[in-house]
Amino acid sequence: MTAEIITLRKVSKVYGSGESAVRALDSVSLSVRERDFVAVMGPSGSGKSTLMHILGCLDVPSSGDYFFAGEDVAQMGETELARIRNRRIGFVFQQFHLLPSMSAWRNVELPLLYRSTTGRRERALRALDEVGLANRVDHRPNQLSGGQQQRVAIARALVTEPTLILADEPTGNLDSQSSKDVLALLRSLNEAGHTVVLITHDAGVASVAGRVVEMSDGTLRERAAA
Ligand code: ADP
Ligand code: MG
């Protein structure tokens, strides 16, 4: 039996109030187990980013429950939430969010600076090796292609050995070959044991995941296996 990493029970999120209230999530339930690879797919405005913010402990539900690795997120204080964001979730964004003045390995090392870990450089180099960039560790972002920059960002997400990798439109800024490379990398990381949630509006992108859930107007439903 594998552990449940994400448990959402009837989670709703309402922005604003009164006439202008928007129900961005409407009673969403979802469970993601260790080693799953789940794509959350839906058109613009369907609630994907809202869901991502809640899953990433960047925002809280208006109602319903969220358990991360069995722990009730509503019961956590800011310190504990920050700890989960920094150590247990590896974020990958559409914009790579790399620091331009720093080399690849310095960028990857960043999440480790919050704690006194020895061997930070070695860990950063190992993560870069995992994403196939062992030969680019001293390059700065502007010396790398878009696909390589996103692989650096994935190495940065991996370096803390997170419980969950949360990727929001990771191929949104990439050409088709780089997109394929990044998706193949996410798939191989999943095969190596990482739990991955991939958020996308693109059915082709979603199809690399073993499981696809579809969002529409704030509701979520499981797509039948092909
Ligand atoms: P997606 O990422 O799928 O495009 P979002 O989660 O960004 O969808 O948005 C879902 C709905 O919630 C949309 O109708 C959007 O306009 C609304 N929304 C998102 N963020 C806010 C906010 N901060 N304040 C008010 N409405 C918001
Ligand atoms: Mg969005």
Give residue 4 CA to ligand 2 midpoint distance, Å: 25
> Which atom of ligand 1 has the smallest separation from the CA of 44?
4
The CB density around residue 126, as the number of other CB atoms within 10 Å, is 15
Q: Which residue, by CA, sits nearest to atom 14 of ligand 1? A: 45
Q: Which of 67, 87, 220 is nearest to 211 (CA)?
A: 220
Domains in the chain with CATH codes: 34-59+82-222 (3.40.50.300)
The string of pLDDT tens digits covering residues 42-95 is 999 999 999 999 999 999 999 999 999 999 999 999 999 999 999 999 999 999
For 32, list phi and psi in degrees, rounded to 5: -125, 125
DSSP 3-state assignment of 67? strand
Helix (H) / strand (E) element for 32: namely strand 22-33
Dist. CA 49–CA 218, nearest whole Å: 11
The CB density around residue 31, as the number of other CB atoms within 10 Å, is 13
The string of pLDDT tens digits covering residues 142-195 is 999 999 999 999 999 999 999 999 999 999 999 999 999 999 999 999 999 999
